[in-house]
Amino acid sequence: MEQSTRSATDSLAFKDVTACYNDAKDRASQEAEMRDKNKAKEIQFKASHALLIFFFLWIFLLHAIGIYFFTNGFLLTRLVLDHKSNCKSPPIELGQQSPASFADGCWHPKTFDKAVIIIIDALRYDFTIPFSGEPHHFHNALTVLDETARQIPEKAFLLPFIADPPTTTLQRLKGLTTGTLPTFIDAGSNFAGTVIEEDNLVAQLRDAGKTLVHLGDDTWHSLFPGYFDANLTHAYDSFNVWDLHTVDNGVTEHLLPLLKPENSTKWDIIFGHYLGVDHAGHRYGPDHSATNAKLREMDTVLREVIASLDEKTLLVVMGDHGMDVKGDHGGESDDEIEAALWMYSNKGVFGRGHNGFMVPPATAKDRPVGQIDLVPTLSLLLGMPIPFNNLGAPIAEAFIGPGKPDWQNVATVNALAAAQISNYQCEYSQARGLNEDVFSLPQAFWKDGLQSWREGLKSGRHSDRFRPAFESFSKHQKETLKICRSLWARFDIPSMLEGIAILICAVVVLGTYARSSRPNTLELIPVYLAQMTIFGTICAALFSAITLLVFGSGLVNAALLGLAAGGISGFTYASVNLLQSFTLPFPRSLWGWLGVVLTLSQSIGFASNSYTIWEDEILLCFLSTFASIAFASSMRQELFIERILGMFQAGIFLVLTRLASLSRLCREEQMPYCRSTYYASSTSSTSAPWQLLIPLVSATLLPTVIKIYYQPTRSYQGSATFWNGFAARLGLLASAIYWGLDAADDNEWLAVDKGILQTIKIVIARLILGVSLVVGTTMFVWSKPCISIQVTPEVNTSANGDVDPKPKSMKVFGYANVHGTRYFLLVINWLMAIVLLQKPMGAGAIGILAVQILALLEIVDTNNLSQSAIGPVVLGLLGSFHFFKTGHQATLSSIQWESAFVALKTIRYPWSPLLVVLNTYGAQILTTIAVPLIALWKQPLKKPRLLGDVAKALATLLLYYAVINLATTMWAGWLRRHLMLYRIFSPRFMTGAAVLLTVDLIGILVVIGSLRWNFASIAEVFGWN
């Protein structure tokens, strides 16, 4: 066996194999012996390969169980019920007439026919009440609300209006129209879209045949698409924070004419959404003259609206949330949740006095109402049924009437709301399988209320007698709300800790396996596997048995927990037994430390919202640091040619990293220090025409560049010429054409029917995916190594004139990189598929990624780093970096859902989600598939324990992602009360978890799976190692 076939200059592109046999008999026995040996080695390889799959499956299992337990405790979920409230069937018959018609009111006689509902985004309560001390800019500017509520209390009231966090406009609008609490994920709703599917006030109004008009913030249209009258509605972009006036001027300009008497029949409900105050807050902060000017402008507008209001119309003005001292919002601080609510009507039906507050409260702490209370209030005032999922209570001021308190009316509306909440409770408990006594306390209040109601009726309808009923119903609502809030908004700390503990152990397991310095980790796999499986099974059985006996439920969780705990104990047990030949997995070189430091500093950074926001720039700096050190290291090569090669590759890596960094999709929080380049403009999600050139350039250059990396070892042979030179070129070109057609479709450049164009596009896309993943995989399984064997038949003529036809000498071209060049074909396959699913800019980024991978492989080879942790870690960093460069961010909103339609007309499972995954995590998938190359590239053919090296490299890459996932998980759990939880930490945790599970699966299914064919194909030519 040749121990070292590496020549110093890597010039050993071919190898002389000279066969020399003494005589035929000897040869026959030798061949038979070799065949047997070969067979034995083949079996050995296949066995260790299969065991490897199971080992990594265990790792995946640990990760999945850890993430499952954490998620269970962390992500607040609420089941959305699809039930709708019906006008004809009130939830309770109260012994009095329910008109049950839209004309008079559904459950309760209606007070108003029409309504103008104005939302002043970020209208904090203290903006609206008078301030006597040293005023800030936001004080005493918007005075009309307080003034009217004081002077004409029967016509207007002003109350603090408390928002449920997260205080973002989208989530608030959901709360304001459905009357229920927002959660991070509404299980059951369409995850992709933001459309509200559950019962809500806007849908009820539309179904009642009302003409709805919307003016302002276009968030309404993503929530209620097609609900509004197309002619009268005017929507404006909501994210243009720097523009204070366009939206507001637009709303005012269209609102005032509609209020004129001649237009009064054209509409029933107007929703006006002003953004100026919010934008002024974001841009300047509340204590700034711009905010003052905005509030004054609102004051003027509202006075004009009041002046043109008729008797039948209700005017509602409210803030959807407040703002913090910097003018931002999203979290749950007092300043952010304390908005204002003001109602006005010329009819004079409002009252006070049921709780002693005759004038607007001085602070938002006194007499606050919840934002969810708006839904039942508006529903009953306008004669609508209360939406089914509502948890709010009618606001007493709107129903108690002027003068003497009308307790009967207040009790009636509260009874209706309580009955509807009771129905909801019942349905929710059933759907979720909740225990009956969860809602026992509110049920008791409900019964009390009914009892008091009946007593009130008996007392001859004396209004005061209904007060106890009102109080009981009110308690019922508050108690239910409290329970629901705790059901949906409670973090289950033990479950989160279990998840984190499992994830920590999984990191230790992976780290021990990947970085312990044992020369042959492959031999350990059977021991590990046996112990993990035995312990795992026993613990799972034990845990579930105990749980079953003690608690009687929660079997699945107990079994999973037992499985994880057992697997970890099994691994520990096996490791302790093997301790004598074991060293701690600490790095022993600057390179190893670099890998550790980069991974850990990135992980620590996730504790800060700033470093999470700027992760893309940090990764750029890290990758540049690696390239610079690689450059310096290459300068230390003694041989000129190696030095130049290393310098050149490091330089390419450095420049390409910076080039790729030009592709950016900024997240909201990066503004104004970031300019998006991924699409034509920061407000569009289509590509600019010049960007269509990027995939074209990529298609032209990339196969050539790959060829250049094959050529120094004379490996551009066999399958490589066809697959890279032809199939990849054609595939990449086809995706360039696809995106050209896509742009033509968007911009209507071609006079072709849209349907035909779409069909053509889908055919092209499916062809590419078919060729890259189906044909490509088949090709990869069958392909010969990228070598060519040149046989020189040195025709010897022996003494008796016989010609010896045996070849005496043969040259193997491509010998120096047999493993690497063949395996890279797999990378090319996936490259084609991933490029297709990226937007044109992303195709460029993925192309750059492919070249960077090749440059990294050369750097790893010239610096002799194939065993170091740095190679896989840099691949991991590259994967994370290009995740951002392909137009993604760690936010839900940056997921490119439309990629599901690249190859499909409609959503189809499981294909649509797979396409989205391939689009979202394309960079991480590609780098994972490339990771065996760290251990294989330019390594000697017969290098011992090559499979073990590959497994270690893969484990190291998974370790990188596992550490990142662990860090984001821990920080998300630790910072669960942080203001930025929903905007930053939670999405980053979800991204990290999704990446880890994806990468685990790709590692098992694609990487380890493909290795078998790679080794088998090479062994077919050269014999098993």
Which residue ranges make up the site for another protein (CB under 8 A)? 3-4, 8, 519, 588-592, 608-611, 613-614, 617-618, 620-621, 624-625, 628-629, 631-639, 642, 654-655, 657-658, 661-662, 863-864, 866-868
Contact residues for 665 (Cβ-Cβ < 8 A; gap 6+): 676, 678, 679, 884, 887, 888, 889, 894
With contact defined as beta carbons under 8 Å apart, do 695 and 840 qualify?
yes
Which residue, 519 or 770, is less far from another protein as judged by CB?
A: 519
Closest distance to another protein from the beta carbon of 845 (Å) = 16
Report the C-alpha gap between 831 and 829 in whole angstroms. 5
Which residue, 270 or 849, is less far from another protein as judged by CB?
A: 849
Query: What is the SS3 assignment for 266?
Result: coil
Contact residues for 833 (Cβ-Cβ < 8 A; gap 6+): 768, 769, 772, 773, 918
Closest distance to another protein from the beta carbon of 813 (Å) = 24
Closest distance to another protein from the beta carbon of 356 (Å) = 43
Encoded tokens for 367: 């007499």
Which residue, 188 or 587, is less far from another protein as judged by CB?
A: 587
Report the C-alpha gap between 686 and 744 in whole angstroms. 11
Which residue, 574 or 865, is less far from another protein as judged by CB?
A: 865
Closest distance to another protein from the beta carbon of 989 (Å) = 19
Closest distance to another protein from the beta carbon of 607 (Å) = 12
Which residue, 570 or 932, is less far from another protein as judged by CB?
A: 932
Report the C-alpha gap between 85 and 750 in whole angstroms. 48
Which residue, 377 or 889, is less far from another protein as judged by CB?
A: 889
Closest distance to another protein from the beta carbon of 629 (Å) = 7
Closest distance to another protein from the beta carbon of 124 (Å) = 21
Task: Give the strand pairing for 114-120 and 313-318.
Answer: parallel
> What is the DSSP code string of 556-625?
HHHHHHHHHHHHHHHHHHHHHHTGGG-------SHHHHHHHHHHHHHHHHTTSHHHHHTHHHHHHHHHHH
> What is the DSSP code string of 74-125?
HS-EEEPP-----SS--S---SS----BTTTBSSS--S-SEEEEEEETT-BG
Closest distance to another protein from the beta carbon of 850 (Å) = 20
Closest distance to another protein from the beta carbon of 292 (Å) = 22
Which residue, 227 or 982, is less far from another protein as judged by CB?
A: 982
Which residue, 429 or 624, is less far from another protein as judged by CB?
A: 624
Query: What is the SS3 assignment for 799?
Result: coil
Which residue, 642 or 858, is less far from another protein as judged by CB?
A: 642
Closest distance to another protein from the beta carbon of 632 (Å) = 4
Which residue, 282 or 465, is less far from another protein as judged by CB?
A: 282
Closest distance to another protein from the beta carbon of 866 (Å) = 7
Closest distance to another protein from the beta carbon of 982 (Å) = 17
User: Residue 367 has what DSSP assignment?
Assistant: S
Report the C-alpha gap between 773 and 664 in whole angstroms. 28
Which residue, 96 or 681, is less far from another protein as judged by CB?
A: 681
Work out the angle between the directed axes of helices 276-284 and 289-307 (0-180°, nearest 10).
Answer: 170
Closest distance to another protein from the beta carbon of 969 (Å) = 22
Closest distance to another protein from the beta carbon of 623 (Å) = 9
With contact defined as beta carbons under 8 Å apart, do 409 and 399 qualify?
yes
Which residue, 673 or 974, is less far from another protein as judged by CB?
A: 673
With contact defined as beta carbons under 8 Å apart, do 636 and 645 qualify?
no
Contacts 24+ apart (CB under 8 A), 585-588: 585/511, 585/512, 585/514, 585/515, 585/516, 585/517, 586/515, 587/515, 587/869, 588/517
Which residue, 597 or 775, is less far from another protein as judged by CB?
A: 597
Which residue, 123 or 623, is less far from another protein as judged by CB?
A: 623
With contact defined as beta carbons under 8 Å apart, do 866 and 937 qualify?
yes
Which residue, 716 or 881, is less far from another protein as judged by CB?
A: 881
Report the C-alpha gap between 355 and 403 in whole angstroms. 14
Query: What is the SS3 assignment for 810?
Result: strand
Report the C-alpha gap between 126 and 135 in whole angstroms. 11
Encoded tokens for 847: 């192309």
Beta bridge partners of 161: 339, 369
Closest distance to another protein from the beta carbon of 233 (Å) = 37
Looking up tokens 């919010």 gives 278
Closest distance to another protein from the beta carbon of 664 (Å) = 12
Report the C-alpha gap between 507 and 444 in whole angstroms. 50
Query: What is the SS3 assignment for 348?
Result: coil
Task: Give the strand pairing for 185-187 and 114-120.
Answer: unpaired
With contact defined as beta carbons under 8 Å apart, do 529 and 568 qualify?
no
Closest distance to another protein from the beta carbon of 635 (Å) = 3
With contact defined as beta carbons under 8 Å apart, do 358 and 160 qualify?
no
With contact defined as beta carbons under 8 Å apart, do 575 and 515 qualify?
no
Which residue, 245 or 658, is less far from another protein as judged by CB?
A: 658
Single out the residue of 213, 310, 317 nearest to residue 267, CA to CA.
Answer: 213
Which residue, 448 or 617, is less far from another protein as judged by CB?
A: 617
Which residue, 109 or 651, is less far from another protein as judged by CB?
A: 651
Closest distance to another protein from the beta carbon of 613 (Å) = 7
Encoded tokens for 786: 């990228």
Contacts 24+ apart (CB under 8 A), 611-614: 612/890, 612/984, 612/985, 612/988, 613/667, 613/669, 613/670, 613/984, 614/670
